[in-house]
Amino acid sequence: MRYKATGYSWVLGRPDGDWFLFGRGEDGALARPGGTDTGPLDRLDPRLAARSERYREYSEGALTLPDRDGSWQSLFFRGERCEWYDWDRGVVRECPWTELGTWGTALPAGYRSQIDALLQGADGEDGTWRTHLFKGPRVLTLDWRTGVVAERLVTEGPDPSGCAGWAGLPPAFRGDLDHVADHRPAADGTRRSLLVKGGHAVLLDWERGVLAEGAPDRLQDGVLTALPDFCRTPYRTTTGRWTTVPEESGGRTVEVRVDIDGERPLLTVSGDLYERTPTGTAYVDSFRAEALTVERTAGLDTITQSGVHWANGCPLTELTLRLPRVAATDPAADGPGTVSEAAVPDGTGFLGLSGSGRFLSQPLLRTGTALRTVELTTQALEGAAVFEEYKTSSGPAPSFRRGRTLTLASAYAEAGVEIRATGRVGIIARPTGDPARLPPGLVGRRTPRGGLRPRGPAAGSARVAAVDVRRHPARRTLRGRRHVRPGRQPWPGGGPPRGRAAARRRRQHRP
């Protein structure tokens, strides 16, 4: 399952009643028409007391299964394993999720990790179970006996019929959903679901469309009322840049880039190691780790890997990161603090590197949400319009793509790159006459219409201001990152990166 920043990690609904159960670690919230109760899950419903310790501590997702002899059944997921739980009889099975029906043999590679949400579908004609797997803008239906039944756009609905209402989903809910749960059906039996993304939710009638939209406890559905704070307050994402606490770092400084949650994470950690010198700070080495083991609880992410790759052969190949999970509204989320080998709730994390009898242990502070930071200098020909924004709806696009307004900064922010403008736009006087008098970047051959085709640093300045990207002072913030190079348009072909194209820019943690 994809790691989410909502205040709860899973939600279960019942297709035959007014009931929602939100889970976060050992605590939860039970929403019913009479009100909402909060507390330990086994107190909210004693039938959950028999779950095994691993899944009581934390579950990344949950799925309501069909009842068995009148007893409720659910699947709870954590990492590569799951627990099949009968609410009256206890644990039925604990196993890798690949051992469930045809999950391990029939699922395409793209649906074997980073699943957004799960929803149990109607049984097949022969009574076999079917499950809907949501990922990005698509949903796949899997028959537990025969394999993949279909794959469609979310706006087309999970089933081949009875899903006309899915076409009316708001643009933000047409992909990358956080949770999908059953809601009580309509009076005529039409299926209804609760769709959650971030702090917003949609109550969807599969035939008629959206019935309500807003915060989950503001849908006026008679069930989701007075949700507790933890259900309404999202977590701050762990993804971002973490840096050694200055007073604790001694002679070495480490900058770590973590990408494990948020939209389209790559489950990768990379970083740079520096040493203090009499004249300042000197770069030493860079590492990359992309075969991570992540253990998440309600308050802590523990990331480990053996065999970390270093650019210059550093022997510290055993990585341990302990990073706190705190509420996005916590004023101490990015504040200073002290730390030992366990992360503490003041926003401070811990980095450990070891190997060949050597150790490096340092506390970390989160210094930003971006993986990289670059400085932007813009120059434009006199009289030329400087690029400000691009509306994706202005050109042809697939029907499921929502229209957005992108700026240079917002497009690169989606790829984990923060762009900082250095100041005003530099204006280049428009030259005339002898090409020898033109600025070097404008010297080039003429186009078929007789105009000059710019080259070099000013290329593209008539449509998009030319940019000069420089390294952030005293840091190798662009090392290994695909970035705008001097003399190149920031968006080749004239269009900004969209969707997965923007995500591909994040694949360069490489040292």
Could you report the per-residue pLDDT of 52-85, keeping only the tens digit for each? 999 999 999 999 999 999 999 999 999 999 999 9
Segments in the chain below pLDDT 70 = 246-250, 331-347, 399-402, 432-511
Q: What is the pLDDT of residue 399?
A: 64
**Threshold 0.85, pTM exceeds:** no
Which segments within 57-172 are labelled E, that is strand? 61-68, 71-78, 81-86, 90-96, 117-120, 130-135, 138-143, 147-153
Which tens digit of pLDDT belongs to each residue from 272-288? 999 888 888 899 999 99
**Cβ 408 vs Cβ 387: under 8 Å:** yes
Q: What is the pLDDT of residue 168?
A: 95
CA–CA distance, 123 with 443 (Å, rounded to integer): 68
Give 125: exposed, middle or buried? Use CB within 10 Å, 0-12, 13-18, 19+.
exposed
CA–CA distance, 77 with 55 (Å, rounded to integer): 8
Residues for the chain: how many in total?
511
Q: What is the pLDDT of residue 361?
A: 87
* Three-state secondary-structure class, residue 164: helix
Which residues, other chains included, contact 115 with Cβ-Cβ below 8 Å and sequence gap of 6+?
1, 2, 61, 133, 134, 135
CA–CA distance, 301 with 237 (Å, rounded to integer): 11
Give 178: exposed, middle or buried? Use CB within 10 Å, 0-12, 13-18, 19+.
buried
